A and B are shown apart, each in its own frame.
Chain A
């Protein structure tokens, strides 16, 4: 390791927390995240000659990590069944709508939520809300919105049908909307 220039080392050290957080969101396991980040960093160091310029470095390491995560998800594509979290989300969805499937209660407005993105605390709440989702919708949502995969790719990786994929994405968005509404945008619980 000491053979590598110091700025590479410090650059790797400085992005490590973000790499770990990124991987943890996808894999939902701190241990699996450690493994995959370690893997990606080793691959990055072994292939240092392939990247050029400090600006591209982070992007390059991230793309390596992204591929490692997709490999890991593919290897481990059977999604665990999260009985309690699934039941809680079912209930959340059921309570939103009345017997005619219209809003039981008008969803509150969030005003101008854009400013939240600047706040560190917002991302902590977001992470907690993602962790609260059942494994299946959380995984599909993060593959879609975090790894930027198209639904066809997600279906292929996880061996599920497109309609199943859309159902999971809808449930994830509903669940996150409810959680952020309650825990960040200050909606009162009815």
Chain B
């Protein structure tokens, strides 16, 4: 049973804030392999972090 995209986006988000468990990582990796929408979401969530790091108001 494939993980839902909604749950995958939750794990992608949480992966930026806590270490995922081994099984979470494996299931997410499998989902990402098969799902372009979630791969894009992962790239975009990472971009949001990168952008905030480089915010012109930030030092």
Contacts and interface: CB of A to CB of B under 8 A. Distances in A.
A45 to B, nearest CB: 18
Contact of A170 (B5, B13, B38, B40): B13
B33 interface: no
Contacts of A22: 57-58
Contacts of A101: 4-7
B51 A107 contact: no
Interface residues of B, number: 33
Contacts, number: 89
Contacts of A177: 41, 44-45, 48
15 contacts: A22-B57, A58-B59, A97-B6, A102-B5, A102-B6, A106-B40, A117-B50, A123-B55, A145-B53, A146-B52, A146-B55, A162-B18, A177-B41, A177-B45, A177-B48
